[in-house]
Amino acid sequence: MAALEVSNLSASYGGERVLGPLSLSLAAGERVALVGQSGAGKSTLLSLLYDQAGSGTAFMPQDLGLVDTLSVFHNVYMGQLDRHSAIYSLINLLFPLQKPRGEVQTILDELGLGDKLREPTGELSGGQRQRTAVARALYQQGSMLLADEPVSALDGPLARRIMDALSRGYPTSVIALHDVDLALAYSDRVVGIQDGHIALDEPSSRLSTADLQPLY
């Protein structure tokens, strides 16, 4: 069963085509890694996929979409805004309730941000901000994850810790990754984008790092 299926997707900027046309299908329970050099069209593809996906899809763009003036708790809590009434969310904005506070704290502990719950997001480092956006996606508990370079600001061991958490939280995902070793380790299938088109689409088990190098 397809979790997401798109046909003849394309995008143009300034009258110049930058993506497609291309078609892509994602099965439920499938983890796809998008690879390719910067500017190949990965971010554009993820944005178009999000436009086509259902409302339960979690989306983590490269710009993260955080509100710097709000605390880490509030940024993470936004992952479930659509599940609660405006009054309930307003109460949590002013005086975070015990249940959501505990749920968010558990996720932050898992991501190594346990001491940042009340800290303004604008005061965090780049890697901490990225993990806050990951925490928001995990808290959302959507049916599928679309993420654009979710660990680009993190080092090796920490990047794998975050990818482990995302893999547990989202069995169905499309994640753009510049690190080809992570792409192979945390996906069932690799889709390579080159000049706005799909240049490679293979199961990860059939690929090696050398197979992906021509895309860069």
Using one digit for the tens of pLDDT, what is the confidence trace for 110-128?
A: 999 999 999 999 999 999 9
Tell me, yes or no, whether 160 lies in a domain: yes
- Report whether pLDDT(24) > 70: yes
Across the chain, mean pLDDT equals: 93
Q: What is the pLDDT of residue 87?
A: 83
Tell me, yes or no, whether 4 lies in a domain: yes
Domain shared by 130 and 151, yes or no: no
Q: What is the pLDDT of residue 81?
A: 83
Mind listing the pLDDT tens digit for each residue in 127-156?
999 999 999 999 999 999 999 999 999 988
Domain shared by 120 and 170, yes or no: no
Over residues 74-88, mean pLDDT = 86
Tell me, yes or no, whether 213 lies in a domain: yes
Domain shared by 148 and 134, yes or no: no
Q: What is the pLDDT of residue 211?
A: 94
Cα distances from 10 to residues 18, 60, 166, in angstroms, run 8, 21, 28
Q: What is the pLDDT of residue 91?
A: 80
Over residues 79-92, mean pLDDT = 81
Domain shared by 121 and 96, yes or no: yes
Last residue of a domain, one of 94, 127, 142: 142
Domain shared by 157 and 105, yes or no: no
- Report whether pLDDT(66) > 70: yes
| pTM as predicted | 0.92
- Report whether pLDDT(174) > 80: yes
Q: What is the pLDDT of residue 111?
A: 97
Per the CB < 8 A criterion, the answer to whether 66 and 75 are in contact is yes
Tell me, yes or no, whether 127 lies in a domain: yes
Domain shared by 136 and 68, yes or no: yes
Cα distances from 13 to residues 3, 8, 16, 169, 194, in angstroms, run 28, 17, 5, 34, 17
Domain shared by 133 and 72, yes or no: yes
Tell me, yes or no, whether 59 lies in a domain: no
- Report whether pLDDT(29) > 90: yes
For residue 45, give the nearest of 15, 27, 24 by alpha carbon: 24
Q: What is the pLDDT of residue 1?
A: 65
Domain shared by 188 and 150, yes or no: yes
**Domain around 43:** 1-54+144-216
Cα distances from 214 to residues 36, 191, 211, in angstroms, run 9, 13, 7
Q: How many separate domains does the chain show?
A: 2
Confidence category of residue 15, pLDDT binned at 50, 70, 90: confident
Query: Distance between CA 108 and CA 72 in Å, rounded?
Result: 9
Query: Distance between CA 169 and CA 175 in Å, rounded?
Result: 13
Last residue of a domain, one of 142, 175, 205: 142
CATH number reported for the structural domain that contains residue 187 in this entry: 3.40.50.300
Last residue of a domain, one of 119, 142, 165: 142
Q: What is the pLDDT of residue 95?
A: 82
Domain shared by 24 and 49, yes or no: yes
Domain shared by 137 and 151, yes or no: no
Domain shared by 189 and 129, yes or no: no
